[in-house]
Structure 1
Amino acid sequence: MNFDGILFFPVTPFSRNGAIDHDLLAQHVERGVAAGAGGVFPACGTGEYHALSAGEAASVVRTATATVSGRVPVIAGTGGTLGHAIEVATAAADAGADGLLVLPPYLVGGTQDGLVSYVEQIAAASELPVIVYHRGAAQYSVESMRRLARNPRVVGFKDGTGDVGAAQLIVRAVAEEGREDFAFFNGLLTAELTQAAYRGLGIPLYSSAAFAMIPEVANAYYRAYVEGDDGRRLALLDGFYRPLVTLRDETPGFGVSLIKAGLRLQGLAVGSVRAPLVDPTAEQEARLAAILEAGRALL
């Protein structure tokens, strides 16, 4: 599975009555693809997978695949309780998704054998290739990733822990299994902050929540990153991403909440986040507006 460009994780818009606004979702996805997204990941972390029913997640994926219409890969989120994950995975395949991002299981933590089995059972539920998300209750050992790399249905690894030593060993273990087709992603919050280091590990791809909110700035950073223009990259890091991360870190869940707030500030009425996440205060939104303006000024 090849990705050429920033990985786009769209939000899930909600109307005032709490229902998914599919017209607005299609508009949001279309804007992202038109802005140059290399792949679309609907109903994942930024899309509030944790707060969606299986039916809602399936409907989000249907809208995304219909909008993308084959222009770039669509990778649907799945995970949580095993039964829910299998139901979502099957529905994503029926909706025309190109692959699955397997988020951690819900509440419980298992052994490494249990985590491998969790991924394998989800992978067996459809014909879709799967990418494992290494974070939270799903932290895979080097040996577990070696085992999963022997399954041709498992095609990628997304790191959300920040343990660069473990990530480096996993990259090497997968290479030793002969998997030249394996994709590696930096999945840390506001990944632009750490991506220069991840590239040195052999992890060239990253997910960009900022792209969902302000693609012109995210694209400018991505171009500087790809072209090795460190002066430009660091100017964007200092002028936009650092203050964004400072604001993000004030409140748990703001990795999602700020993206939705930023879209609302720019006229896209994507609604609030669902519980347990919370929206920014008016003062925080004002600071976010200033950060977005500063980012545009750097262009």
Structure 2
Amino acid sequence: MAGFSGDPEGVAQRLRDGMASGVLSFPLTSFTEAGDLDVESYRTYLAAQLATAPGAVFPACGTGEFSALDEDEYRAVVTATVEIADGRLPVIAGVGYGWAQALRFARIAEEAGADALLALPHYLVEAPEAGLVKQVRRIAAGTRLPLIAYQRGPVTFTPEGLRAIAAIPTVIGLKDGHSDLDRLQRLTLAAPDGFLFFNGAATAEIQARAYATVGVPAYSSAVHAFAPEIACAFFTALRTGDEATMTKLLRDFYVPFVELRDKVPGYGVSLVKAAARLRGLPVGPVRAPLTDPGPDDLAALERVLDTGLALAGGTRRPA
């Protein structure tokens, strides 16, 4: 099934509608204990994720360990996602490294039927903004799929750079992971009408209220990857202005989770995967160079997870 509509604005509108109705899902990629890709387990896990009605699904991105996948594995993950989504919600696949390698992944995503691409930050090198804009142009020129740029790490756009990439016909949005709200406000004011912005901060719920004040209410949720009940409870509270529920979830679950996440590099993914395993979800371990949490951190994670689930009305083992 081809997910591409041939109309970037059509894809943007589907994303706009989805962002208003649910969190953006960034699913984990399932591996066996030996470290091999486990496509059937991924399909089982993803079906449960999508049953909670996220606004869109972003396979093979940061939470999905894009950088640990080879091209055949990437094809299998994106193909499975398109099949499980079955047209119900947009599928936006991650692409990355330099533009030439990003286009190899982009062509695979096209063939698999993805609706759009998220251009992850390039590998290692620092570059001036003119080069960052050229990178986006080269990727956009080599694929028919709509493209969302991701500024994080070595990628930062000024209003001038934002206008340059927004002028590319197939570039429909920007995901921000820097959390510099002054800069982000300037970018939203420089963007053309209808251009999409996404809160891509680590554990984005922590800053969701702040991002919303500068016109960026949509966000990706790593917590959705292991506890959709918690993620959806926070999303509903944010959309309805339920400050009491947001404050309680932030104070008793999200802040303790972030404090644990910040203890070890890479815990932004490996702690999420460990929490999914605690719930019996078939995701397996992380791949090197990431490492799974040790016993003490797992025990702390259990306590935080149980607190969050109690607040959201869930249980450790999902139904």
The 5 Å alignment of 1:46-65 reads 46-65=63-82
Residues 156-199 of structure 1: CA deviation (Å, up to 9, x unaligned): 1111011111111000000xxxx332211110100000010000
Equivalent residue letter for 1:264:
R
In the alignment, which residue of structure 2 is the partner of 1:149?
A: 166
Q: In the aligned structure 2, how far is the partner of 1:260 from the partner of 1:19?
A: 15
Identity percentage over the alignment? 44
How far apart are residue 269 of structure 1 and its match? 3.1
| Aligned mates of 2:76, 2:139 — CA distance in 1 | 19
CA apart distance, 1:29: 1.4
Hey, what's the Cα distance between the residues in 2 that align with 1:216 and 1:139? 33
SS state of the match for residue 138, structure 2? helix
One-letter amino acid of the counterpart of residue 220, structure 1: A
Q: Residues 7 and 207 of structure 1 are in contact (CA less than 8 Å); yes or no, is this contact kept in structure 2?
A: yes
Among residues 125, 134, 137, which one is paired with 1:117 in the alignment? 134
Q: State whether structure 2 residue 80 is matched by structure 1 residue 72.
A: no
Contact residue 42 and residue 282 of structure 2 kept, 8 A: no
Which amino acid is the alignment partner of residue 295 of structure 1? G
CA distance in structure 1 between the partners assigned to 2:154 and 2:146 by the alignment: 21
Cα distance in 2, alignment partners of residues 130 and 21 from structure 1: 28
Correspondence for 1:272: 285
Output the CA distance in 1 between the equivalents of 2:184 and 2:260: 27
- In 2, Cα distance between equivalents of 1:66 and 1:125: 24
Aligned equivalents of 1:53 and 1:125: distance in 2?
20
1:235 correspondence with 2:248: yes
| Equivalence for 1:126 | 143
Which amino acid in the other structure matches residue 192 of structure 1? E
Q: Distance in 1 between matches of 2:306 and 2:128?
A: 47
Would you say 1:26 and 2:39 are equivalent positions? no
**SS at the partner of 1:298?**
helix
For 2:198 and 2:272, the matched residues in 1 are separated by 20
Note if contact 2:225-2:272 (Cα within 8 Å) is conserved in structure 1: yes
Distance 1:54 1:80 in 2: 13
Conservation of the 8 A alpha-carbon contact between 1:239 and 1:294: yes
**Aligned-residue RMSD, C-alpha:** 1.0
Equivalent AA in structure 1 for residue 77 of structure 2: V
The answer to whether the Cα contact below 8 Å between 2:200 and 2:219 also exists between their aligned partners in 1 is yes
| Cα distance between partner residues in 1 of 2:144 and 2:223 | 31
1:17 to 20, 29, 34: 34
Secondary structure at the counterpart of residue 257 of structure 1: helix
Provide the residue aligned with 1:205 in structure 2.
218
Q: Please report the TM-score for the alignment, with normalisation by the length of structure 2.
A: 0.90
1 CA distance for matches of 2:161 and 2:276?
39
Alignment of structure 1 residues 211-290 onto 2, 5 Å: 211-290=224-303
CA deviation vs aligned residue, 1:94-116 (integer Å, no higher than 9, x gap):
10001000011111122211111
User: What amino acid is aligned across from residue 78 of structure 2 in structure 1?
Assistant: V
Task: Kindly state the Cα deviation for residue 282 of structure 1 after the two structures are TM-superposed.
Answer: 1.1
The DSSP-based 3-state class of the residue aligned with 2:219 is strand
CA distance in 1 between partners of 2:126 and 2:75 (Å): 26
Distance 2:174 2:85 in 1: 23
Which segments of 5 or more consecutive residues in structure 1 lack a partner in the other structure? none
Check conservation: 1:54, 1:84, Cα contact below 8 A.
Answer: no
Structure 2 spans left out of the alignment, 5+ residues: 1-11, 313-319
Distance in 1 between the 2:143 and 2:98 partners? 17
Distance 1:33 1:220 in 2: 16
